[in-house]
Amino acid sequence: MMKLETANRQDWQGFSRLLEVMSFVDEVDSFNPEETREILERLCQIPPCPGQTMSMEEVVFWAGVAVGMQLSQHAEDGSVDAETAEKVFIFSSIFEHSTKNAIVDLALGDIEAPRTSAYQKTGR
């Protein structure tokens, strides 16, 4: 399982955005074409100063999305055989699951950290 650690809020925002995109992909079948278009328009907006506001995790994530879409196109046109495409899909699904769990662990750790320090026991 992947372990994510972050010390600044900018990274946390990137992780939450990644989870938002992954959740959308999981539920894409439940949206009509208009809703899908609206959601993707919002998710794919580049911030005013991307070099200062996008985390490295977000940049790497979107690069992975681009590579996945290109691979999908190559699989559709026959440049990549179905068996190889399925193998890449399974491999990437493992990382998707691991990333989601790591983001949730990060969020829970962020929520629980202040609580545990507030209730420290005094030693005798």
Domain boundaries along the sequence of the chain = 9-118
pLDDT at 8: 54
* Contacts by residues 70-75 (CB-CB < 8 Å, ≥ 24 positions apart): none
Q: What is the model's pTM?
A: 0.66
pLDDT at 112: 62
Asked if 2 and 98 touch (Cβ cutoff 8 Å), the reply is yes
pLDDT in tens, the chain (124 residues): 445 555 555 556 677 778 888 889 989 999 999 999 999 999 988 878 888 778 788 888 889 889 999 999 999 999 999 999 999 999 988 888 888 887 777 777 766 655 544 445 555 4
pLDDT at 124: 46
Token pair in block for residue 42: 């919002």
Token pair in block for residue 1: 């399982």
Asked if 18 and 64 touch (Cβ cutoff 8 Å), the reply is no
pLDDT at 111: 63
